[in-house]
């Protein structure tokens, strides 16, 4: 399993592999380390965040958000140009083409686990259905907690 996280010690983004609890987590930029216990990993999947210990993790498609927004903007721009040129079938075809690409990406892209508190990402982990999709209420609770504590 690959873990991408912002180091609590130096705030640098770090990518590391965790194959077993014996490996633990370590920052490649500073001396920060965290021991990973057997309770943290259950059947190859994290039961809680390995970086901050938070119990709330959510599933997300492993796709860059900036690329997704660029695709949406490009589809809107191309279809608007086609509408402006009085080519409604082309405009609808462009929108349907981008919708089909979106459907294929959603179908074939793998899921990652993301921590609500520290936004650590866990790739290539065995995922069960115990981790839900994004929940705005839970996210807001952690956002307000961070604001109260003066973080981020």
Whether pLDDT at 91 is above 90: yes
| 91 three-class SS | helix
Mean pLDDT computed over 37-42:
75
- The backbone torsions φ and ψ at residue 15, rounded to the nearest 5 degrees and listed phi first, read -120, 130
Provide the 10 A C-beta neighbour count for residue 116. Answer: 22
Q: What is the model's pTM?
A: 0.79
Cα 18 to Cα 45, 49, 137: the distances in Å are: 11, 12, 30
Can you give the residue ranges of every domain in the chain?
A: 2-62+110-148, 65-108
pLDDT at 20: 66
């Amino acid at each position: 399993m690959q873990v991408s996280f912002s180091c609590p010690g130096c705030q640098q983004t770090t990518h590391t592999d965790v194959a077993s609890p014996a490996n633990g987590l370590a920052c490649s930029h500073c001396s920060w380390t965290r021991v990973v216990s057997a309770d943290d990993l259950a059947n190859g999947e994290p039961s809680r965040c390995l970086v901050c210990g938070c119990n709330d993790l959510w599933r997300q498609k492993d796709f860059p958000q900036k690329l997704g927004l660029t695709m949406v903007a490009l589809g809107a721009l191309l279809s608007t140009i086609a509408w402006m040129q009085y080519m409604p079938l082309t405009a609808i075809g462009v929108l349907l083409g981008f919708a089909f690409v979106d459907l294929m990406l959603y179908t074939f892209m793998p899921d990652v686990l993301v921590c609500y508190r520290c936004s650590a990402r866990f790739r290539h982990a065995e995922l069960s259905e115990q981790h839900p999709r994004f929940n705005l209420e839970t996210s807001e609770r952690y956002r307000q907690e961070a604001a109260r504590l003066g973080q981020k």
